[in-house]
Amino acid sequence: MSKLTRKEKERLEARTEILNIAARLFAKNGFHKTTMDDIAIASEWSKGALYLRFQTKEELFFSIIEDIVNDYLETLNTSLTGRYNLEGLIKIIIEKQFTFFQDHIQFFQLLLSEQGKALQASGNRHREIMMAKQKEHFDLLVVAFDKVLSPDNSVSSNTIAIALTGAINNHLLNWLLNHKTVDLQQVQQEIVTLMLHGVQ
Amino acid sequence: MSKLTRKEKERLEARTEILNIAARLFAKNGFHKTTMDDIAIASEWSKGALYLRFQTKEELFFSIIEDIVNDYLETLNTSLTGRYNLEGLIKIIIEKQFTFFQDHIQFFQLLLSEQGKALQASGNRHREIMMAKQKEHFDLLVVAFDKVLSPDNSVSSNTIAIALTGAINNHLLNWLLNHKTVDLQQVQQEIVTLMLHGVQ
Amino acid sequence: MSKLTRKEKERLEARTEILNIAARLFAKNGFHKTTMDDIAIASEWSKGALYLRFQTKEELFFSIIEDIVNDYLETLNTSLTGRYNLEGLIKIIIEKQFTFFQDHIQFFQLLLSEQGKALQASGNRHREIMMAKQKEHFDLLVVAFDKVLSPDNSVSSNTIAIALTGAINNHLLNWLLNHKTVDLQQVQQEIVTLMLHGVQ
Amino acid sequence: MSKLTRKEKERLEARTEILNIAARLFAKNGFHKTTMDDIAIASEWSKGALYLRFQTKEELFFSIIEDIVNDYLETLNTSLTGRYNLEGLIKIIIEKQFTFFQDHIQFFQLLLSEQGKALQASGNRHREIMMAKQKEHFDLLVVAFDKVLSPDNSVSSNTIAIALTGAINNHLLNWLLNHKTVDLQQVQQEIVTLMLHGVQ
DNA sequence: AATGAATGAGTATTCATTCAT
DNA sequence: CATGAATGAATACTCATTCAT
């Protein structure tokens, strides 16, 4: 059923391979300290080959983020298709976000390092795309919460979605900064409790 | 009672002035696109004068963050000294964080743009300092929550502190990205409700 | 009578087509800003096909000039074969140069843009060729003038040839630079008068 | 009477020195084959120092041409101020152009190598400047010829000016291409005769 | 013959940092 | 202390040329 010729497959593989290697370098050293030469050497492609696939260094960078974000949104969307009660929904959201980012820690770091940039430089195509993705993300969550909450719930689905993802992200960031010495399983459970019943 | 001579005062004023102007530039254009020339011209000091006060551009940058974080921690510490019940505590934390960052949006942006960097390059003095400050921040909150929660509360003070600050930050980030079109007053109230009683 | 096979004809046509298209690009954008990719795309041949016909970009470039110069010399030679008196000779030279370059403005521009290069880099095959062509050009004119001037004319045929072509070229250049707003017919007549009788 | 401080003098000297050395390199190797590194090394200034004085390589290049053209126009203007009859005028123009370019052969080569560029890329500031200078040049000559010719002369001063400078330039170019083996003194005399009385 | 993906040497420009004045 | 001219390492990007298919 594959519609990809051998050449197209190879091209896609090369692209993916480059993005993976570049992602590792960007995550490790940051955008500016990672040079196109670094990426070329690490990926064992020539610089010319990189520019054949990505017009600029920035485009290469955002391609990484875009790919992984798309991947995440797809996974999340699939998960949220099932039927949940409130507790189940919160649990699945937390679990998805935790497992996904454990699997893609370097992308998480990239994402964080770019959130600041999103606030700068308007009129930027990349900024627009990232904001659209962000909106898509919240929309998925809002729709899901709307299904399990009464319309006159005292806290809006939107507020819940933003607060929940913020709480999760902060925990993950904290976990990373503390060299992963925290028990994530327990943290997950506590966040569920917190979101369901509040602090007490 | 002042222990500062006139000279020392002038020195401090110059330093503060430079940091304020540099902060504006960094927040607007990012770390790399802001040059020492830009800062020199905007501050009306020579580049030499900048290097007299800050060894490197990076140090200047982190001086900004450090100053403002210290300022925030001091304010927060003072506020948390009062006596609160649980609701009062949550309210005051949210309020402090909201008002502080509304007053210092540019620092908030700087902070975000640098959170990613903190994850990189270990062995970095700046990274260590920032992490220490982060810890200090959470400690303040944890101590405060410990005072108002029973020791066997189902959610630990630490988890609450991290979740709360994450939720707040995400709301503020969202507010910035949406060009400040959200009613922050209402958001504050909703977060309080959410933290106190959970989503429902 | 044609000695060209179909294949050879096709080969020649392709070559001519490429040279024409490349000439347009070179004239419009200059040697360096015109890339082999540009030429490949515009000519609808692959880059490989270009390199099959021309060893280097420079050779392609000089092939254009050489072709057109050969063409010009042939035309001029044919014209000068006829019998003229002095006035007729001057008129025909001016007319040929004018009409030829009106028909091939882009080549004229190329020629100019390369005259400087001819002064550089000795030991260059292209330079040698161009100088040989230049000499051939002057020789044609000198021979023609020698036929209509007495051997002890106060101005040598060589001097006349150089001065005349220089005067014509400068007028044409001026005409181009002034966006063709000058009446070339009248200029032609004035040059004839000038050459025949001097300024007054 | 000098209004230049020592610093200003040094700055001007450095600029002139750089332009002289760069001119030699550009004339020898052409615009593209001359790198900023070459100029930096030859001039014994750092690349940064070059960019302190000239915003781009192109600006450096045109500064050379502009300087020398200005110099020439000034010299010519001064010379044409005197009183001449027709023969004297033609002689002085030829002589000025000959001696000037013998003194500045490298600039002459530069000029030639750039005449082609002037035909390309409109909207270019440098192009505009060069065309203005060209016009200034012809205006000087036209005014001078108008003074010594009757208003109803059969050949216009403008045509004469263009033809004369073209003839001279072509002779100089020819002289350069023939490795200076021609007797310029005699050529000068012949051009005078040609312009005064025509070919015979 | 024809293709066009891959190569990698080559270069203009920037900017943090220094230091003579 | 203050200045800002000078430095030169660092880097994104281009494009003529090659060669496996």
Q: Which amino acid is at A131?
A: M
Q: Of the ranges A117-121, A123-127, D97-101, which one carries the lowest mean pLDDT score? A: A117-121
Q: Among D20, D36, D54, which residue terminates a domain?
A: D54
pLDDT of residue A96: 93
Q: Is residue C173 domain-shared with residue C103, that is, in the same domain?
A: yes
Judged by CB atoms closer than 8 Å, whether chains meet at D177 and C149 is answered as no
Instruction: Give me the phi and psi of A78, to 5 degrees please.
Output: -60, -45
Q: Which residue has the higher pLDDT, A124 or C51?
A: C51
**Percent residues over pLDDT 90 in chain A:** 57
Contact A154 B110 (CB under 8 A): no
Residues B159, A190: contact at Cβ < 8 Å? yes
Domain boundaries, position D104: 56-197
Token pair listed for C68: 């057109």
Q: Name the nearest CA neighbour of D100 among D40, D169, D196.
A: D169
Question: Do A177 and A94 fall into the same domain?
Answer: yes
From the CB of residue A128, how many other CB atoms can be counted at a distance below 10 Å?
A: 12
pLDDT, tens digit (0-9, with 9 covering 90-100), for A4-63: 677 788 889 999 999 999 999 988 888 888 999 999 999 999 999 999 999 999 999 999
Cα–Cα distance, A193 to A186 (Å, whole number) = 11
Return positions of chain E under 7 A from a protein CB: 1-20
The pLDDT value recorded for residue B196 is 94
pLDDT at residue B116 greater than cutoff 90: no
Judged against a pLDDT cut of 90, whether residue D19 lies above it is answered with yes
Is the separation of the CB atoms in B93 and B164 below 8 Å?
yes
Is the model's pLDDT at D199 over the cut of 90? no
Residue C45 has pLDDT above 60, yes or no: yes
B19 or A2: whose pLDDT is higher? B19
Per-position b or e across A158-180, b if 16+ CB within 10 A of its CB: bbbbbbbbbbbbbbbbbbbbeee
What percentage of chain C has pLDDT greater than the value 70?
92
User: Average pLDDT, stretch A191-199?
Assistant: 93
Place C131 in a pLDDT band, splitting at 50, 70 and 90: confident
Residue A179 confidence (pLDDT): 75
Give the one of D120, D134, D159 whose C-beta lies nearest to C191's C-beta: D159
Indicate the number of domains in chain D. Answer: 2
Q: Confidence band (pLDDT; 50, 70, 90) for C74?
A: very high
D2 found inside a domain: no
Mean pLDDT of chain C: 88
Mean pLDDT along residues A122-147: 87
- Whole-number pLDDT of residue D177: 78
Q: Is residue D95 located within the same domain as residue D137?
A: yes
Q: Are residues B25 and B100 in the same domain?
A: no
In this structure, the answer to whether residues B66 and B14 fall within a common structural domain is no
**pLDDT over threshold 90, residue B182:** no
D180 Cα to chain C: minimum distance (Å): 12
Cα–Cα distance, C112 to C27 (Å, whole number): 10
Task: Name the nucleotide nearest C34; use CA and C1'.
Answer: F15
Name the residue with tokens 């052409």: D30
| Mean pLDDT of the region C90-99 | 93
Least confident of A71-75, B51-55, D125-129: D125-129
Last residue of a domain, one of C54, C77, C99: C54
**Residue A91 Cα distances to A79, A85, A137, A143, A146, angstroms:** 11, 10, 17, 16, 16
- Do A35 and A114 sit in the same domain of this protein? no
Q: Is residue B118 part of a domain?
A: yes
Quote the longest CA-to-CA distance of chain B: 59
- The answer to whether residues B61 and B49 belong to one domain is no
Nearest C-alpha in A relative to B155: A190
Residue D121 confidence (pLDDT) above 60: no
Within-domain flag for B1? no
Q: Note the CA–C1' distance, B52 to F1, in angstroms.
A: 9
CATH of the domain at D39: 1.10.10.60
pTM above 0.85, yes or no: yes
Interval D102-124 mean pLDDT = 67
Mean pLDDT of B97-105: 84
Residue D87 and residue D30 share a domain: no
Tell me whether residue D65 is in a domain. Answer: yes
Contact yes or no for D163 and C194 at CB 8 A: yes
- Give CA torsion, residues B110, B136, A93, A133, to 10 deg: 0
Asked if residue A9 lies in contact with residue A15, where contact means CB atoms within 8 angstroms, the answer is no
Given a contact cutoff of 8 angstroms between Cβ atoms, the answer to whether C181 and C187 are in contact is no
Round to a whole number and report the distance in Å from the CA of D37 to the C1' of E11.
Answer: 9
Shared-domain flag, residues B30 and B103: no
Query: Any atom of strand E under 7 A from CB of D57?
Result: yes
Residues 6+ apart with CB under 8 A from D165: C170, D97, D137, D138, D141
Question: Does D1 map to a domain?
Answer: no
Please report, for the domain that includes residue A144, its CATH number: 1.10.357.10
Q: Between these two residues, C101 and B189, which has the higher pLDDT value?
A: B189
- B112 and B124 co-located in one domain: yes
D170 touches strand E (CB under 7 A): no
- Find the mean pLDDT for residues A91-102: 90
Predicted confidence (pLDDT) per residue in A98-121, tens digit: 988 888 877 776 776 665 565 555
Partners of D115 on chain C (C-beta within 8 Å) are 112-113, 115-116, 173
Task: For residue A182, give every residue at least 6 positions away whose Cβ sits within 8 Å of its Cβ, in sequence order, or none.
Answer: A174, A175
pLDDT at residue B128 in the model? 83
SS3 assignment, position B35: coil
CB atoms within 10 A of CB B44: 10
CA of B37 to C1' of F1 (A): 19
pLDDT band at B176 (very low <50, low <70, confident <90, very high): confident
Region B63-68: mean pLDDT is 90
What pLDDT was estimated at residue B14? Answer: 93
Q: How does the average pLDDT of chain A come out, rounded? A: 88
Q: Are C165 and C135 in contact (CB under 8 A)?
A: no
Q: From the CA of C55, how many Å to the C1' of E16?
A: 45
pLDDT, one tens digit per residue, over D2-17 is: 566 777 888 899 999 9
C171:D153 CB<8 A: no
Least confident of B83-87, C60-64, C122-126, D82-86: C122-126
C40 and C83 in a common domain: no
- Kindly state whether residues C105 and C193 are assigned to the same domain: yes
